[in-house]
Amino acid sequence: MFKTNPSSLFAAPFGCRENLATRLDTDLRNLRHGGRPNPSFLLIHAIFFSFLSILFLLYFNPICYFFGSLALPAGAARFAAGFTGSVTAISAVCLFFAAGNMFYSSVGLHWDMAQRMVSAVNDWSTVKYALDVGCGRGILLNAVAMQLKKEGSSGRVVGLDRRKTTVSTLRTAGIEGVQEYVTCREGDARRLPFSDNYFDVVVSAVFVHRVGKEFGQRTAAAAAERMRVLGEVVRVLKPGGVGVVWDLVHVPEYVQRLQELRMEDIRVSERVTAFMVSSHIVSFRKPNHLLLGPGEVRLDWRCTNILDVDVWGDEAEPDDDASI
């Protein structure tokens, strides 16, 4: 149960084996490093391996003859054919399982975790502005909007994403009947285009781990980029505001960073398997009486992540006059 609120809580041609192996290796590394393989890629190759296993079954004797033509004894040829066919069938089963897990994590589990994240905020009736960082298709965004609607609130939730998903996200909000509560903006989570102390609630679902992936998930530069996002989340939160982040793999470093930023009531949920790796929800509250002002928070994360200067150059000040 979530601890914050006790009441709730192969794209390559089939014949191209090298390209296939490369894509599989890439997806396996993505899994280990907190990324997410493409479910469509997994499904296509599950079907491909299923087709191969059926061919092995239908043409077992000719395949045995082929192995025998390689100067293998008859028994060894049958074993080689059977072993290859078995591995192909097992691969198909594993790929179908992985594809199913990815699809479930992307939709069903995502919605369930969105509800848990919404439940982590004790009082939505006083929320005027909320922010969803990395809103994507809007699953969490719509969950927040539905909660605002349920409370009869006049508040709004802003969905921010770097990709051009505004039209599809707003269309989804319209289907859910919450379009009047939703606004979308394009922007970089490392430079949130909002004033200091603006939002009552900031949420983010399976997004932060992808920031800085161009540097490699386990590099210091990537970690610095993720910490930069957390620093921005803290900056735009009002004193007393609540942040809730659901993410993969890197949660311990988020907790450490939030402690360094002197956030209060930091809580971590139980482990939930998502996209075939571990995930947790982290919630925290920005103190009403800050020991560090917003400007000092920005300076703090700049000083502790010197790589930011090397990668991005001079830091632009956030747009304090940005409007929603």
Would the pLDDT of 77 be above 80? yes
Highest mean pLDDT, choosing among 25-29, 180-184, 311-315? 180-184
DSSP states of 73-128: -HHHHHHHHHHHHHHHHHHHHHHHHHHHHHHHHHTHHHHHHHHHHHHTSS--TT--
Mark whether 222 and 91 lie in a shared domain. no
Residue 26 lies in a domain: no
Most confident of the ranges 51-55, 63-67, 234-238 = 234-238
Q: For residues 256 and 266, what is the distance between their CA atoms, to the nearest angstrom?
A: 10
User: Which residue, 48, 49, 104, 45, is CA-closest to 276?
Assistant: 104
**217 in a structural domain:** yes
The position carrying tokens 């914050």 is 4
**Residue 297 confidence (pLDDT) above 70:** no
- Residue 6 to residue 2: CA distance in whole angstroms: 7
pLDDT at 314: 37
CATH code of the domain in which 292 resides: 3.40.50.150
CA dihedral sign of residues 36, 39, 44, 50: positive
Q: Is there a single domain that holds both residue 217 and residue 187?
A: yes
Last residue within a domain, chosen from 73, 106, 139: 106
Return the pLDDT at 317: 38
2 within some domain: no
**Structure-token match 């009531």, residue found:** 265
Choosing from 82, 106, 130, the residue where a domain stops is 106
260 contacts: CB under 8 Å, gap ≥ 6: 300, 304
Residues 6 or more apart from 217 whose CB is under 8 A from it?
Answer: 33, 34, 35, 209, 249
**In this predicted structure, which of 95-99, 273-277, 300-304, 307-311 has the lowest mean pLDDT?**
307-311
pLDDT in tens, 1-50: 333 443 333 233 333 333 444 444 444 444 444 445 567 777 788 888 88
Asked if the structure places residue 210 within a domain, the reply is: yes
**In this structure, are 137 and 51 located in the same domain?**
no
Q: According to the model, what pLDDT value does residue 74 have?
A: 82
Instruction: Clarify whether residues 93 and 165 are in a common domain.
Output: no
Q: What is the CB-side half-sphere exposure of residue 162 using CA atoms within 13 A?
A: 10
Q: Is 243 helix (H, G, I), strand (E, B) or coil?
A: strand
Whether 160 shows a pLDDT value over 60: the answer reads yes
Q: Which residue has the tokens 């949420």?
A: 203
pLDDT at 92: 85
Q: Decide if 33 is inside a domain.
A: no
Using the structure block, give the residue that is written with the tokens 């990668």.
311
Q: Sign (positive/negative) of CA torsion 252, 256, 258, 259? A: positive
Average pLDDT, integer, range 172-191? 92
Q: Looking at residue 230, what is its pLDDT?
A: 95
Q: Which residue has the higher pLDDT, 27 or 145?
A: 145
* Same domain? 171 vs 292: yes
Q: How many domains does the chain have?
A: 2
- For residue 134, tell me if it sits in a domain: yes
In whole angstroms, what is the distance from residue 256 CA to residue 283 CA? 13
**Same domain, residue pair 147 and 72:** no
Assigned domain for 18 exists = no
Distance of alpha carbon 117 from its chain centroid, rounded?
14
Given 75, 106, 137, which residue is the final one in a domain?
106
Q: Give the pLDDT of residue 313.
A: 33
Higher pLDDT, 193 or 71: 193
**With 90 as the cut, is the pLDDT of residue 285 above it?**
yes
Give residue 30's pLDDT.
45
Considering the domain architecture, whether residues 176 and 244 belong to the same structural domain is answered as yes
Print the domain residue range for 237.
117-312
pLDDT of residue 38: 65
Structure confidence at residue 263 as a pLDDT band (50, 70, 90): very high
pLDDT at 316 over 80: no
CB 233 within 8 A of CB 133: yes
Please give the share of the chain, as a percent, with pLDDT higher than 70.
76
Domain match, 130 and 205 both: yes
- Look at residue 284 and tell me if it is in a domain: yes
Most confident of 74-88, 103-117, 190-204: 190-204
321 pLDDT more than 80: no
* Residue 144 sits in the same domain as residue 191: yes
**0.75 exceeded by pTM:** no
Mean pLDDT over 269-296 rounds to 78
Sign of CA dihedral 211, 254, 281, 5: negative
Backbone angles phi, psi at 194, to 5 degrees: -135, 160
pLDDT bracket for residue 91 (50, 70, 90): confident
Residue among 10, 41, 26 nearest 213 (CA): 26
d(CA 251, CA 253): 5
Shared domain check, 90 and 199: no
Give the tens place of pLDDT for each residue, 92-141: 888 887 777 777 767 777 788 999 999 999 999 899 999 999 998 889 99
Q: Which of 107-116, 186-195, 219-228, 304-313 has the lowest mean pLDDT?
A: 304-313
Residue 202 and residue 283 in one domain:
yes
Residues 177 and 307 in one domain: yes
Question: Taking residues 281-292, what's their average pLDDT?
Answer: 82
CB 195, CB 322: distance < 8 Å: yes
